[in-house]
Structure 1
Amino acid sequence: MIIGMGIVTFIPRMLPFIMFRGKELPPFLQGVLKNVPYATLGALIFPAVLYIQEDIWYGVIGALAAFVVAFLGANVIVVVMGSIAVLSAYSLFF
């Protein structure tokens, strides 16, 4: 079963390398493919932000804090810790 799962995972990952070897994609398609990870991550995180707690503002404030800290150029650990600190302060006062 593990070998079968490995093969099933390996094939879709290797097909693009085999099919597009020596070929260059159009610039528009390259731009779209560069943004796919960000769009996927946003689609996975956004619903969780709204349903993290009964109070919807808890998730919105946490996401806003993370966005601001990330926009300032901090690394991922600092972004997570900053969001946790803001939400800890929010839960203490409200």
Structure 2
Amino acid sequence: MLNNVYIYILVMALVTYLIRALPLTLIRTEINNHFIRSFLYYVPYATLAAMTIPACLYSTSSRISAAVGFIIALILAIKKQSLIIVAGGACAAVFIVELFV
């Protein structure tokens, strides 16, 4: 069993390295395709949203407080508030809702 863990770690490290190293070695010219450039532009935003939104909705003891905090954070972000204001507003909203739920 112990040897299997090392094999798993080695395979995971190899796959992670190949995913990062292959594009650097295979694609040496600038990408001119408009579709691929726009796709690559939005990948970090989509990845961040896919990781953050479920964490926001499942991080509290009730779904109601999580939804209220998420909505408050979304409203503050749309109004172009700073990150500290958005995070603080969401935390305060969750705290207030958790007091009453």
Q: TM-score, normalised by structure 2?
A: 0.68
The equivalent of 2:38 in structure 1 is: 31
> What amino acid sits opposite 2:71 in the alignment?
L
Structure 1 residue 11, shift from structure 2 partner:
4.9
Structure 1 residue 76, shift from structure 2 partner:
2.1
> What amino acid sits opposite 1:40 in the alignment?
T
> What amino acid sits opposite 1:75 in the alignment?
S
Q: 1:89 to 1:80 in 2, by over 3 A?
A: same
Uncovered stretches (5+) of structure 2, i.e. residues with no partner = 1-9
> What amino acid sits opposite 1:52 in the alignment?
S
Q: 1:10 to 1:25 in 2, by over 3 A?
A: farther
> What amino acid sits opposite 1:48 in the alignment?
A
1:41 aligns with 2:48: yes
List structure 1 runs of 4+ shifted beyond 3 angstroms.
7-12
Following the alignment from structure 1 to structure 2, what is the Cα–Cα distance between the partners of residues 54 and 10? Answer: 38
Q: Percent identity?
A: 30
1:59 aligns with 2:71: no
Aligned residue-pair number = 91
Instruction: Tell me whether 28-37 or 17-26 shows the greater mean CA deviation.
Output: 17-26
Instruction: Tell me whether 47-56 or 32-41 shows the greater mean CA deviation.
Output: 47-56
Larger CA Rg, structure 1 vs 2: 2
CA RMSD of aligned residues (A): 2.5
Structure 1 residue 10, shift from structure 2 partner:
5.2
Q: TM-score, normalised by structure 1?
A: 0.72
1:82 is aligned, of 89, 92, 97, to 89
1:91 aligns with 2:98: yes
1:73 is aligned, of 64, 68, 80, to 80
